[in-house]
Structure 1
Amino acid sequence: MKIVKEYLDFETFKSKCDQTIYPLVLEKVQKAFSNEVVEKMKKIKTVFISSFVFGSILVIAFLFTAYNGAKNNQNITLYAAVGILLTAIIFFIIGIIYSVNYKSIKNRVSQYIATELYNADSIYEKAFANISPDIEYLKPDNKVFLDKLKECELPYLTKKDILVNKPDCPSEPTLVSYEKIGSWLIDNKFPVEYYFLHWQYEVHRKDRVETVNVFRGLIKIYTQALKEKQFSWSLSNEGVSGIKLFRKFQNTIQLEDEQFNRTFALRAFDRQDIFKTFTPYVQQLLVKRSYDNGYTHFAKFTLQTDPEQNSLTYDFNGKKGFMRIDTTITSDPSQVALGFYKDILLDVYSFYYLLCFSYIPLYLD
């Protein structure tokens, strides 16, 4: 039997990663940024910025010359203005060519670093090990994970999962696409998958129909290993506007901690199971965890269990870069290393933050 305990705070997690993760990131960035690459990026950046600056100056000169030529009816001045304009266009073309080249180099460098960190260094696996050895990040083709998934009655996303994830919109949303991004194994018995879903809905204006994109994230934990210990419940700390205002206070269970009741909407069919799971200390710790959200992408979420599907799902606002190694590339290797490092830390800790809300109540026991 597990014992409810404090969650791992971000600073403790970061101090571990400073020793084990940052050196790996810095090594890969320095390897990608040879002196030749840095100098090349600086030169290309200087050329395209200078080209745009000179082009802009020449456009101003063209306007001034053309105005004087037209005002004084001087054809020679007008011809000079045309020459200035053509020169400005040439500078802009040069600037565009070099800016595209600069962006291409940045993309290649970024892709190289991300691939090396993900494959050669298994950076996510090492980062999650700093959270807990019980939370294993696994590659999609991991045999242990695939074998565990085969034991599940309803693997992958189901229609019911998608319905749970469907966002509240002014008009009926349509699922455009979904993509599996990550896989985990918790306590060596609970397979976990993260999906990124793209939805769209239409807004009818007076003169046009506008298509609006909505991105949602869905984490699915397969809870078949719990067997008869499973029960139906849901927990949400999302905002209370519109439809969600009604849902938040519909059939909610009030517990001993008033701050917990103000922070969360907790619903369940079996009150006895809820009171056994959400003890006063658990309530207090969940409130603390909810407000300790300075280092997560997803402060708001809804989770719910489904014993019929043997699953627990999290629904939250989707972020395209979540669990994808990326950052902004500049010609400064130290800044790039810090960018990659911060991206990895926030991705890993954001997943852990969400997991806490099913881990602290000891539902996954």
Structure 2
Amino acid sequence: MTRIDKNPGIGTRGAVTVRGLVKHYGETKALDGVDLDVHEGTVLGVLGPNGAGKTTLVRILSTLITPDSGQATVAGYDVLRQPRQLRRVIGLTGQYASVDEKLPGWENLYMIGRLLDLSRKDARRRADELLERFSLTEAAKRPASTYSGGMRRRLDLAASMIGSPAVLFLDEPTTGLDPRTRNEVWQEVKRMVADGVTVLLTTQYMEEAEQLASELTVVDRGKVIANGRIDELKARVGGRTLRIRPADPLELRPTALALDEFGLTGPGSATVDIETGTVLVPILSDEQLTAVVGALTARGITLAGIATELPSLDEVFLSLTGHKASAPQDADAQSPESPEFAEVAV
């Protein structure tokens, strides 16, 4: 298999570096001084509500549009000064299918391979390899127009991998897919990362971010409002929740009352979850956890289980942006920051 050479200048912490990116669409400021870093061989999840600037960011980094100001390097290449070199070491899967629907799946992949200057032999080999990898071999000779939505998305991903990219941009790659196909895409992305590919992923699916991302950057109104590992962002938003399971289900309400009476976490803060047979109480420190267990033991309540939980990623998103997380919608495609993708030209 022929691989396109990766720039030897890539550092272990600098597959993508962005500083001060600004982009206007008329009076709309899609990006307002964005900074971010993607470490080599990791997945950075970029979260944000519709119109936050996520797609504009991807379009700039993949050389489809130019910023009004700021700097960015991808795989060691300057986005503005070295676009042709950069295009040879990146892959892109946008929100919409970018393959030629009149061509069979195999011919789509072969054509892209040739555009990337692979020899005929290597382009054929890569097309065969990727069709097998994405479970599309049986449909290889059928026009892409006959593919299901999930098959087209897998063909899109395969097309983005033809040149064995060092950096892969995925802009809401599982929009509109059923849960089974979405899981298949997730598994393929994980395999790519295991092979050393660096991924910048935009998504509004919190579960997708949890499954794939090593770190998160949250964007709202064109600005980065938070970044870090998922557990760091959860800890930043709020304390932990203690889930307590009494050995006797009849002790649920007495457990909640005991916690309120002891005043360890504030009056009325303990709540009963009848369905799971547990009591939930917020805690801010390990000392409070120890005090809760001690208080219940002193009251003679036997515990069957105790666990701590961080806020959900949905709660983090709501706290940071003021918006609830929502699944991507077609309406977002009409915003000025997210016009339909075309395949990156060579």
What range is the shorter-chain TM-score in? under 0.3
Q: Computing the radius of gyration over CA atoms, which structure comes out larger, 1 or 2? A: 1
- Compare the two structures and name the one with the higher strand fraction: 2
Point out the structure with the larger helix share: 1
TM-score normalised by structure 1 residue count: 0.25
TM-score (normalised: structure 2): 0.26
